[in-house]
Structure 1
Amino acid sequence: MLSEQNVNLTTPTLNFTTPIPGGGRGGGCPPVGIQLEGVILPPVLTIDVILGLLGNIVALWIFCFKLKAWNPNNLFLFNLVIADFLALVSLPLRIDALLRGHWVFGDGLCRINLFLMFSNRSASIALMTVVAIYRYFKVVHPHHRFNRMTKRQAAFVSVFVWLLVISPRVPMLAYNHIKNSGNTTQCFFFTSYKEASRAIIILVGMHRILTVLEFIIPMAMLLFCSIRISSFLKERQMGKPDKVRKAMRVCAVIVAVFMVCFLPTTVTTIGVWVIRSYRPWDCTSFYTFTQLTIVSLGLNFLNSALDPIVYVFSSSMFRKALFSSLPRALCCRQDTGDGENAASSSGSQSTTQQELKSMRADRESEAM
């Protein structure tokens, strides 16, 4: 399909356990059949597209028409919406190819399709990491000059992130990934070392390295930011316990989305890599990791459907704009609870003091 794991969409399921003589490094095992891929991926990717489009269309509407003020955090989240849309618009072509059993959209769309899908993974990871780092400085280092970032500077950071994640994927656009098998045409990123040119082999190797590094490094940064925010708030006892829990919920949501969507693909990619390098004769293990990689692709694109949850937890401005747009019947309960809390905490405070306190709370919630 769209990965390098010897996948052939038209080959019946094969159960070879011995290598083909002379197949060469990584080419000793026959192509993997499509039963698991053809059965699991179409419904999973369809769910990803439906949920992702619904959530991201609402998010885009909020960002474009309901958000009254922008800050760097919201700008980073908006770029995350764009990255999700790039992946979502490319998945229907892949679903169609799986259902038909062959690719009918030509070489140009094949290159663009593969480029958009792989770029989305990199962009989503990078932008979620930037959001976590921004929150880390807001909470742990509130006086750092990083927190005085302007919207213009945030835009430059966003452009730099896009260039950083897209540049390694641009070579995908330079090579033909169309494979002809009998009367059918397939759109592969890679089929086997035996059939590939040296340039494709290098491209696949770079892809594998990026797949691992772009998970391990951001994951380490996300865990560091989460642990530091938690320990800082607990040590300083800043605000009430509910504020500490709120800050940790934001970090937990980002880490959870990150782990669910990207960890399986990273683990299976490493598994295939190790088997190809050190156990090229072990076709059984190769098939097992290849099939697991195929299944994990569905989770890989689930991030586009789960990212709207990140927007709600990561931006109080987005959250307020969303709640204000919901039908009043859905918001009345929350409004009542807020009113009771305000009444119980007002006491002898003046109106001016309450307004100042509200403004300060808003800044704290945005930082968290």
Structure 2
Amino acid sequence: MPPDSNFTTVSNPLTSARGGGGCPPVGIQLEGLIMPPVLIIDVILGFMGNIVALWIFCFKLKAWNPNTLFLFNLVIADFFALVSLPLRIDALLRGHWVFGDGMCRINLFLMFSNRSASIALMTVVAIYRYFKIVHSHHRFNRMTKRQAAFVSVLVWLLVISPRVPMLAFNHIKGSGEKTQCFFFTSYKEASRSIIILVGMHRILTVLEFIVPMAMLLFCSVRISCFLKQRQMGKPEKVRKAMRMCGAIVAVFIICFLPTTVTTIGVWVIRSFRPWDCTAFYTFTQLTIVSLGLNFLNSALDPIVYVFSSSMFRKALLELLPCRKDEGQKRESSSGNQSTTQQELKTLKAECGSEAVQSAGP
């Protein structure tokens, strides 16, 4: 990361920063080596999976329910990230940001909003399934599509509102061919407003993982215990319900846990070891790199759709070539059976007429 005029430049970033005005925004550039291939994979897999998902939602699902509407909003959240990542990839490959201040603000806003929206919507899907199974007579299960749309709008407002202030500030670091677009790069920022904004971001990053994760684990355990105690249906029913919860929990842990851990690390170092620039640089770079895993959720979310919606799963299976072949074989076999039955009926009729003729005078 390029040095900023607001910071005291030091020749060795690993030295102590006592009395030096904090650690300057100089890093070890891990993101330039690791993030481009990770983000490219995220974009390719994400676009492939979500374009198929969007096509199924728009053209294959004839009847929508609240669960389907929540999943559709999750697709929209994924596209927020997917349209912003190509600019980030370009900046990493070039080594600097060339799209200006306005696009930098929008880019950061979309990336961080995707994380929050994905977490919130997956949590809503898990809670909806929890009420459907454990509290089947609760009025929550009588939710209409209009009410589900209202819940979706409320989720978006809660997600976007804390991120809107990001659009009000300049996040460009450096100048010329050393320009970078980063949300946080140092201990000291240009103004008190930025310091408050970065602090709020770190609090949200931790809370929006810990609270939904606790709710997901609660829903998963309760669903499993309820189905096993009531012995509802075959064991396969229990497995299907747990697959959905397991898929969401797995996406949470793989995509969002690393960012939460590294953010806590930066927070602890800044609060209790402000002179330890070595640890600060390491955790700052790891935080930026872990963002690549955040956006992996855009590629993994189609798995959540498969396990969370039987209608989506059925529509997806109908698109597979092997399923089409099986369907054609079934139609052919049913056609052959109907032809055979018709031939038998004709043969019986002929035999009956011959019997009548032989019995005649």
Q: TM-score range by the shorter chain?
A: 0.7 to 0.9
Compared CA separation, residues 129 and 9, structure 1 to 2 (3 A):
farther
Residue 135 in 1 paired to residue 132 in 2? no
Contact 2:13 2:23 in 1 (8 A): no
Runs of 4 or more, structure 1, over 4 Å off, are 7-10, 328-331
| Equivalences for residues 1-368 of structure 1 within 5 A | 7-8=1-2, 16-24=13-21, 27-28=22-23, 31-34=26-29, 36-181=30-175, 183-329=177-323, 332=326
Counterpart code for 1:159 = V
Instruction: State the 1:292 CA deviation.
Output: 2.2
Q: Using the TM superposition, name which of 322-331 and 210-219 deviates more.
A: 322-331
Instruction: Give the AA of the match of 2:287.
Output: T
The structure with the larger Rg is: 2
Q: What amino acid maps onto 1:309 in structure 2?
A: I
Counterpart CA distance in 2 for 1:124 and 1:279 is 33
Summarize deviations over 1:85-136 as a string: whole Å, max 9, x none.
0000000000000011111111111100000000000000000000000000
Q: Partner amino acid for 1:214?
A: E
Residues in 2 aligned to 1:142 and 1:331: alpha-carbon distance in whole angstroms = 38
Contact 1:23 1:194 in 2 (8 A): no
Deviation at 1:9, TM superposition (A): 9.6
Per-residue deviation, 1:177: 1.1
How far 1:323 sits from its partner (Å)? 1.1
Q: Percent identity?
A: 83
Are 1:9 and 1:101, in contact at CA under 8 Å, matched by a contact in 2? no
User: Is the CA contact 1:9–1:98 (under 8 Å) kept in the aligned structure 2?
Assistant: no
* Cα pair distance change 1:46/1:15, threshold 3 Å: farther
Farther off after superposition, 170-179 or 227-236? 170-179
Maintained 8 Å contact 2:65/2:145: yes
- Contact (CA 8 Å) 2:74, 2:121: kept in 1 or not? yes
Does the CA contact (< 8 Å) of 2:224 and 2:238 recur in 1?
yes
Gaps of 5+ in 1: 1-6, 340-368
| Secondary structure of 1:68's aligned partner | coil
Please give the TM-score of this superposition, normalised by the length of structure 1: 0.84
Shifted more, 52-61 versus 281-290: the winner is 281-290
Q: 1:114 to 1:52 in 2, by over 3 A?
A: same
1:146-198 Cα deviation digits (max 9, x unpaired): 00000000000000000000000000001111223354322121232434200
Aligned positions, number: 324
Residue 80 to residue 30, structure 1, CA distance change in 2 (3 Å): closer
RMSD over aligned Cα atoms:
2.0
Give 2:32's aligned amino acid: G
Residues 9 and 331 from structure 1, CA distance in 2 versus in 1: closer, same or farther, beyond 3 angstroms? farther
Aligned-pair distance for 1:280? 1.1
Aligned to 1:31, what secondary structure does the other structure show?
A: coil
Compute the displacement of 1:324 (Å): 1.5
TM-score for both structures, normalised by structure 2: 0.85
Structure 2: segments with no counterpart, 5+ residues: 5-10, 334-361
